A and B are shown apart, each in its own frame.
Chain A
Amino acid sequence: MADVVVEQGQAVRAARARKPASLRNVLGRKSTVAFFLTLPLILLIALLVLYPAVYSVHLATLNKSMQKFVGFGNFLFLFKRDTFWMVVKQSCIFAVTAVFFKALIGFIVAHFVHNIPAKGQRKWRGMLLVPWVIPPAMSTLAWLWLFDPSYSAFNYTLSFFGIGPINWLGDNVWARFSVILVNIWYGAPFFMIMYLAALKSVPDQLYEAAAIDGANWWQKIWYVTLPMMRNIIAITALFSLIVTFANFDIVRILTSGGPLDQTHIFATWAFKVGIEGSDIPLGASVSLFMVPILAVAAIFILRDVSKRGNEA
């Protein structure tokens, strides 16, 4: 209905504008204006996002000196290497574990913030979002220093509880634990903010009704809060899955993939192979392995977004 009204206004304007030269007429037309307004955006996306994305597929089919076409040669080479499978495994462990705990911690913290009087919520929320605000490269340096083997503040503190010095970043298992921990630390506040916004939108009457029916706190969460927040939980987790899966900063600064490539994920290994090892085609092939998982997550997000777009 509203569209029709706009079109009418448009028609009036067009009728008035019919007198001047036709070039001005064309320039004033809605579709022409719209085209020029979106042109920079289209150019940017086409040249610096779409083209590189396609180009990386092309790169992945070349040999190291980029002179010869080798087809799937790079991929076949990767399949034969143990390091590659280790990277695949570690990327999945890293992303899934980190996203799960981010979501869990975010949910718990959001609940506690929601629980306290509204007056203090702003202060707590502000304090708890700090990890997300600090550039990850900077905060990871602080973690690197906290994990430092000889002067580590963590080991100093743990020694009081009789726990021996832990080689946080030098030991396989601990190094994997550390990179995931830092990622959780960085990402959990984002979940907290999203869930807090979602919690605020759950009507109080539902809880009152549940309370009258005799639901305990657990039943309220399970039967009221979670179903009401299902959408936002899913979309936040999918977003985070993409970002975590493609993470670079934290692993790069904390361990650079070590010890013995045990903590490499796709991005850091692609950097090591492609830029540091100057085998650009192989690096491109490694990073292309992120695409399937990213695509699946993107499809789900898109479905949700367009669904809500239709509702609105």
Chain B
Amino acid sequence: MSTLAIDKAGPSRKIKYGSMSRDRAWALRWSYFFLVLFAIFFLTPPIYMLITSLKSSAEISAATNPWWVFHPTLSNYVELLTSNQFLRFFWNSSIVSLAVVLVTMLISVPAAFALARMKFWGSTTLATGVFLTYLIPDSLLFIPLFKMLALVQDYTGITLLNRWYVLLFIYPTLTVPFCTWIMIGYFASIPKELDEAALIDGASWLQTLTRIFIPVALPGLIAATIFAFTVSWAQFLYPLVFTTSVDQLVLPVGITTTLIKGDVFNWGQIMTGALLGAAPPLIIYAFLMDYYIAGLTAGATKG
């Protein structure tokens, strides 16, 4: 009976008795082929940035092969790195991003600890609310925030618009929800026995947080820090709306508004500026890739 069934099933579908290893080798070759194609697509803009940044204005406007540098020069870099304006942008961006990272951590780590471990009235609702806040985009809030800042200025006389430090209040709205969310995930994955042991030994809640949770969840903390830094460094809409004077601008806005003068595009300098602006996140990424990716995937998988 069983042999009959096998005989019946046998010829009904074509089985290719090819070499499995040969199939594997071909699949591998195709994989590499397509990966190279996609890598070209993904890496063309940054590489083209680098190519253009090494060219002089004369070479850029000459109708030569745009993909090759015939007379490499560092003049664009020298010019930008000695320009007070550009250094000012860089300085503003660095201060803002670093301060925002600090503020974000000070707000989100304690909150995540409380939400992950200390069940209290409304804690689950609050955790869900934090996650929902993360889904509210900047492009929904920039107009009311602009008006609010103007009103604060009218009523209290504190100048907030057109000052770089206003970004220190605004950026955390982008970074804190996500950082809190992934820290809740990391804290929740710490075994309960650890903090029970600490509590039995007489540690206060704050001691539990600083002595046990922060050291154990350090990878998550690093991932959150990287996230907060890259988000603040890349933010474009808020500084574009809230700051206008040249000495108050951060890098992305500074490059797009001051290096493009009317219809005159000084592409060599723009590309150099863009590359220098992209450098800090790229360097962090190069050295801490695993943390970067952990933070990226944690948002959707750790929850």
- Chain A positions within 8 Å of B, measured between CB atoms, are 2-3, 5-6, 9-10, 12-13, 16, 28, 30-31, 33-35, 37-38, 40-42, 44-45, 48-49, 51-53, 55-56, 59, 105, 108-109, 112-113, 115-117, 122, 124-139, 141-143, 145-146, 148, 151-153, 156-157, 185, 188-190, 193-194, 197, 214, 217, 232, 235-236, 239, 242-243, 245-249, 252-253, 266-267, 270-271, 274-275, 280, 283-284, 287-288, 290-291, 294, 297-298, 301-302, 305-306, 308-309
Q: Would A190 and B110 count as touching, CB distance under 8 A? A: no
Q: Would A115 and B31 count as touching, CB distance under 8 A? A: yes
State which of B131, B176, B281, B286 has its C-beta within 8 Å of the C-beta of A135.
B281
Q: Would A283 and B143 count as touching, CB distance under 8 A? A: yes
Query: Which one, B76-84, B217-225, B292-300, is touching chain A?
Result: B292-300
B264 at the interface (CB under 8 A from A): no
* Interface hits, B130-175 → A, CB 8 Å: 130-133, 135-148, 169-170, 172-173
Complex CA–CA separation, A6 to B150 (angstroms): 49
Q: Would A3 and B119 count as touching, CB distance under 8 A? A: yes
Number of interface residues of B (CB under 8 A): 107
In the assembled complex, the CB of A59 is this many whole angstroms from the nearest CB of chain B, namely: 6
Q: Would A185 and B41 count as touching, CB distance under 8 A? A: yes
Q: Would B128 and A306 count as touching, CB distance under 8 A? A: yes
Which residues of A lie under 8 Å from residue B13 when comparing CB positions?
214
Which residues of A lie under 8 Å from residue B301 when comparing CB positions?
197, 232
Which residues of B lie under 8 Å from residue A33 when comparing CB positions?
114, 118, 205-206
Which residues of A lie under 8 Å from residue B39 when comparing CB positions?
124, 127-128
In the assembled complex, the CB of A288 is this many whole angstroms from the nearest CB of chain B, namely: 8
State which of A129, A157, A248 has its C-beta within 8 Å of the C-beta of B293.
A129
- Known A-B contacts A55-B144, A56-B143; the reply to A145 vs B271 at CB < 8 A is yes
Q: Would B140 and A131 count as touching, CB distance under 8 A? A: no
Q: Beyond the given A53-B136, A249-B236, could you list 7 further A-B residue pairs with CB under 8 A, ordered by the A residue number? A: A35-B120, A37-B110, A40-B111, A51-B148, A56-B143, A193-B296, A246-B138
The 13 listed contacts between A and B (C-beta, < 8 Å) are A10-B199, A31-B118, A34-B114, A48-B145, A55-B147, A116-B32, A135-B278, A142-B274, A151-B267, A153-B67, A232-B300, A252-B240, A253-B256
Q: Closest residue to A128 on the B side, CB-wise?
A: B42
Q: Closest residue to A188 on the B side, CB-wise?
A: B42
Which residues of A lie under 8 Å from residue B32 when comparing CB positions?
116
Complex CA–CA separation, A233 to B278 (angstroms): 29
Against A, the Cβ 8 Å flags (1 = close, 0 = not) of B186-207 are 0000001001100110101110
Which residues of B lie under 8 Å from residue A109 when comparing CB positions?
34-35, 38
State which of A59, A105, A242 has its C-beta within 8 Å of the C-beta of B137.
A242
* Interface hits, B215-242 → A, CB 8 Å: 230, 233-234, 236-237, 240-241
Complex CA–CA separation, A131 to B301 (angstroms): 22
In the assembled complex, the CB of A84 is this many whole angstroms from the nearest CB of chain B, namely: 16
Which residues of B lie under 8 Å from residue A137 when comparing CB positions?
234, 236, 252-253, 255-256, 277
B123 at the interface (CB under 8 A from A): yes
